[in-house]
Amino acid sequence: MDKNHEMWNGLSMDLDKHDLLCEALPQAFGDVFLSQEDRPEKMDYFNAVTADIHGIRPAELIEAQKNGQKVIGSFCIHVPEEVVWAANGISTGLCSGSQFWVPGGEKKLPTATCPLIKASLGARFDRTCPFFRIADLFVGETTCDGKKKAWEILAEDAPMYIMDIPQMKRKEDFEKWEKEINLYIDRLEDLTGNKVTAENLHDAIVMINNKRRAMQRLYDFRKLDNVPISGRDTLLITQISFFDDPVRFTQKVNELCDELDQRVKENVSVFKKGTKRILLTGTPLSIPNWKLHQIIETNGGAVVGEELCTGIRYIENPVDETKGDLDTEVKNLAKRYLGSINCACFTPNKSRIDDIIRLYHEYNADGVIDINLKFCNIYDTEGYFVEKRLQEENIPCIGIETDYTDEDAEQLKTRIGAFIEML
């Protein structure tokens, strides 16, 4: 048994089933990423992380657990990772983006549930993802009905903690969210045995802000006429940002950006002149969901930005770094984590549409694709306002509904190809 298999065995994973996933990944990765021409050399690090995605980082997490640290997994960018790091825990993302895990989720959930939720439960119940075996605590939230009920089922098998997210953004909602963050801190202190203080929380805020700043630096290259990195590569980096060590990740993104600076000086573009620039908006694209980027970028388009949780919503708006007491630091977190994220779970959610229009101009896009994961009711319904406002602004837009299967790939190619052609 090799080292990885020994580790997975120790996590009581279903090795035979998991091997099937490991066998499929290199082919998919090769098709989507390695087939691209003229990729930046500094993508090497992110390639290596992806190639051993269930090996390198899980081994690090297990090592940290042996040294007394706790691993906390979450499913939503509303859950503030800073408090986990402040309690000397390790934060990791758990959202799942592969069809491989969906049937396992369907054993527990109605078929008419979004694939993100089904895959997340399938990964746990099927014992085919090491991150879902390692986490000491699973942090869910009350963003949509599907998730709320799914957490109750997940709690039959996994240690769950739920954060109750307000669904409006009034003064009293910010106060409530502050209280929720304080309750979360209590739970983390219990779990880790460490106190969250103004100092360690401030350090964690700066560390995660640095990660967001590095990613913003990367995303800024996508605003240029000559785009030196593809949308696919940027998406992969963003997906990795949720589970990699934040300090190392920040350093690697900055190294890549140094290379991209050089490319800009040499006018290098990974896209041919005249390639149409697409802004995506909608539901998140969790790893390894690369389907839409692959279709767009092999059919005459360049994805230059994502108004998604796996995109700009995660990286913009760093937390206020003004030093204060613990209450002030928590207030600053609440402000950012409630005020700046425009999930469709909020009512009203006009600021999301304002953001789409702002980003369309900032990233010099030619058109917008509004993506909706099948059975996500809130984004689907909000699509009404997205399309209406964009039409008023004369911004070309199409709505796409899809899931994690490849069954609709041909149909999507035709629709997206036709949309790009008319831009």
Minimum CB separation of residue 398 from ligand BJ8 in Å reads 19
User: Which amino acid, one-letter code, is at 51?
Assistant: A
Minimum CB separation of residue 117 from ligand BJ8 in Å reads 5
Residue with smaller CB distance to ligand BJ8, 296 or 343: 343
Residue with smaller CB distance to ligand BJ8, 105 or 300: 105
Minimum CB separation of residue 346 from ligand BJ8 in Å reads 9
Minimum CB separation of residue 84 from ligand BJ8 in Å reads 16
Residue with smaller CB distance to ligand BJ8, 139 or 296: 139
Residue with smaller CB distance to ligand BJ8, 276 or 313: 313
Q: Tell me how far CA of residue 263 lies from CA of 113, 185, 226, 227, 271, in angstroms.
A: 44, 44, 9, 9, 13
Minimum CB separation of residue 140 from ligand BJ8 in Å reads 10
Binding residues for ligand BJ8, per CB under 6 A? 76-78, 114, 116-117, 143-144, 146-147, 283-284, 309, 341, 343, 345, 373, 376, 378-379
Residue with smaller CB distance to ligand BJ8, 15 or 155: 155
Residue with smaller CB distance to ligand BJ8, 144 or 420: 144
Minimum CB separation of residue 369 from ligand BJ8 in Å reads 16
Q: Tell me how far CA of residue 70 lies from CA of 82, 85, 108, 266, in angstroms.
A: 14, 10, 28, 46
Minimum CB separation of residue 82 from ligand BJ8 in Å reads 16
Residue with smaller CB distance to ligand BJ8, 53 or 341: 341
